[in-house]
Amino acid sequence: MSDTFLRQWAMLRLVPRHPSKIDTTSLQQALAEEGFPTHARTIQRDLQTLSAVFPLVVDEREKPFGWSWAKDAKVMDIPGMTPPHALAFRLAESYLSELIPPSVTQYLAPHFQRAREVLRHTPLGSLKHWTEKVRILPRGLQLQPAQIDSMVQHNVYEALLTKQRFNARYQPREGQQADYEVNPIALVIRHGVTYLVATLWDYDDVKHLALHRMRQVDLLDTPSRKPDGFELDQYLASGAFGYPVSQKPLRLHARFDAGTAKHLYETPLSDDQVLKVDEDGVYLQATVTDSSELRWWLLGFGDGVEVIAPKALREEFAAIANRLARQYRR
């Protein structure tokens, strides 16, 4: 195999997809690092030759000229994309799109398209129809996802990816719009809402900012910062998105009717859950996070559950029951 062929093949790999581009000097350096030292003039001739065969485009608006693969150029795979690879790309496109930065998604788009083509031509009875046979459904009532401005989403994801601060105009749930300087830390998607976990200015207290409430986002040149020792998994495990009422764990005692309690045998509420059957139903003990989410979960069972302890929580539910009774007696 000739050195010219190998050099040109390496060159094709090094040219990015539009809108990114690479000039001949950068290509010359990259080729030298891969073991193909050559002259800039040779690279220019190679690019002209290759552009007659492959969808390569050149931006001549300013020097140095930049070369790219055309935005809609088909993906060239050697070896080719297999059906299992194609299935993985299709599932990623369906279920991970909200987690992938838009700047990355545009580069993956040709691979997603190629995956659809591969699966379309895969023999019947194999992986061709798998995506039509699997779904992931959220627990509970499914609400329509909150609508996010596309430019806001792009800039927030880019800031998180590149560790940049940004200025945001934000509309709180209550009150007037406010301008914040934001340090992005992480993204959490929950119940159809995308939240940015962040700090503001140089403070260390962590906030949750809903992306659909952001009206404008302007990237800054200042590097972002996050609180010392912050770990996303630990933060989530602490119940931060369960809207904690107290930092202390709660030892819940409750009685469920037999039908309501069935799912607790298969999906326990906690590692130390204890269930005991008596004549009045199923008695539960479990250590849980003291949160608003716990209260919403218990309220969802209606009269299928009775809170026994702690006393303060029982009194809280008794007051809710009394208010509901008054409402329905009107």
Same domain, 174 and 212: yes
Same domain, 224 and 171: yes
Q: What element of type H or E holds 289?
A: strand 281-291
CATH code: domain of residue 27: 1.10.10
Same domain, 288 and 316: yes
Same domain, 321 and 273: yes
- The answer to whether residue 55 scores a pLDDT higher than 80 is yes
| pTM of the model as a whole | 0.68
- The answer to whether residue 159 scores a pLDDT higher than 80 is yes
Q: Is residue 77 part of a domain?
A: no
Q: Is residue 96 part of a domain?
A: yes
Task: Render 188-249 in DSSP notation, one character per residue.
Answer: EEETTEEEEEEEETT--S-EEEEGGGEEEEEEEEEEP---TT--HHHHHHTTGGG-EEEEEE
First to last CA, the chain: 88
How many Å apart are CA 165 and CA 220, to the nearest integer? Answer: 5
Q: What's the mean pLDDT in 266-282?
A: 94
Same domain, 248 and 303: yes
Q: Is residue 144 part of a domain?
A: no
Q: Which residue has the higher pLDDT, 207 or 108?
A: 207
Q: Which residue has the higher pLDDT, 224 or 243?
A: 224
Structural domain ending residue among the three candidates 209, 234, 259: 234
Q: Which domain holds residue 26?
A: 3-69
Q: Is residue 38 part of a domain?
A: yes
Same domain, 168 and 99: no
Q: Is residue 76 part of a domain?
A: no
Q: Is residue 120 part of a domain?
A: yes
Q: Is residue 138 part of a domain?
A: no
pLDDT tens profile 289-330: 999 999 999 999 999 999 999 999 999 999 999 999 999 998
Same domain, 322 and 251: yes
Percent of all residues in the chain with a pLDDT value above 90, rounded to a whole number: 53
SS3 of residue 179 by DSSP: strand
- The answer to whether residue 237 scores a pLDDT higher than 90 is no
Strands of the sheet containing 274-278, edge to edge, are 274-278, 281-291, 244-256, 305-309
Most confident of 30-44, 235-249, 305-319: 305-319
Same domain, 260 and 298: yes
Q: Pull the structure tokens for residue 19.
A: 């809108």
Same domain, 226 and 248: no
- Is 251:231 a contact under the CB 8 Å cutoff? no
Residue written as token pair 């260390």 = 204
Q: What's the mean pLDDT in 255-264?
A: 93
Q: Is residue 137 part of a domain?
A: no
Structural domain ending residue among the three candidates 190, 210, 234: 234
| Alpha-carbon distance values, 208 to 159, 198, 205 (Å) | 16, 6, 10
The total of structural domains in the chain comes to: 4
